[in-house]
Structures are given as structure tokens and as C-alpha cells.
Amino acid sequence: MKRIQRDRDEQLAHRQQDSQILIQRNKNMLQDIAKRHGLEAKKTVEFLKYALGNRAPVPAKQIILPSSMYTSKMSRASSPSIKGTKLPAIGGNSSLAGS
């Protein structure tokens, strides 16, 4: 009977030791994940600060805009001030209204 009790006690001690090892492993993994998450968050914040505006501002005189930004295709096509067109001005004499 003593031998059976001793074996039970050994099994309990071994299970307790295994549980402690698993608990410590879990704590280590959580710490590692938290550390990696913190580093990624720091990198992301630094990148976003760089990408979204912590650059030196460019003076307005140095900004070069393409000429297509000054006038759109739509405004050029519908403009009655274009020379050589035979289209009536908007709101003008409308001879096609009855057809």
C-alpha cells in the first residue's frame, strides 16, 4: 500500500513540475509576443509620422503643376469662347428645341 501511495505522489509531483514548465513557457511566449507587438507598433508609428507629414514643407514656388490641372477637358470642350466653333452659346438661340 505504501508503494502505491509513493507512486501516486511521484506522479502528482511530476505533473506539478510539468505544469510549472508549461506555465513558464506560456509566460515567456506572451512576453515575446508583447515585445514584438510593441516593436511593430513603434515602427508603424514612426513610418506614419514620416509618411503623413513630418517632412520638410515644400515652398509653394517650388511646386510645379502640370498644365492639365489648370483647365479640365470638360471646361475646354464646352467653352463658347473657343474660336472657330459653330456651336451656339449655352442659353442662346435654340433652333433645335422643337425637334
Q: Dump pLDDT digits (tens) for 64-95.
A: 666 655 555 555 555 555 555 565 666 555 55
Q: Is residue 70 one of the residues assigned to a domain?
A: no
Task: Assess if residue 62 is contained within a domain.
Answer: no
Is 48 within the bounds of a domain? yes
Can you give the residue range of the structural domain that contains 46?
Answer: 30-54
Domain count, the chain: 1
Tell me whether residue 4 is in a domain: no
Give the Cα separation of 90 and 84 in Å (integer).
16
Task: Kindly state whether residue 9 falls inside one of the protein's structural domains.
Answer: no
Q: What is the pTM of this model?
A: 0.45
User: What pLDDT is recorded for position 97?
Assistant: 52
The reply to whether 69 falls in a domain is no
Which grid cell is 2? Answer: 505504501
In a domain, 87, yes or no: no
Q: What is the tens place of the pLDDT at every residue in 11-70?
A: 999 999 999 999 999 999 999 999 999 999 999 999 988 888 856 565 666 666 666 555
Distance CA 51, CA 58 (A): 15
Closest C-alpha to 3, from 11, 61, 37: 11
Quote the pLDDT of residue 49: 87
Task: Examine residue 14 and state whether it is found in any structural domain, yes or no.
Answer: no
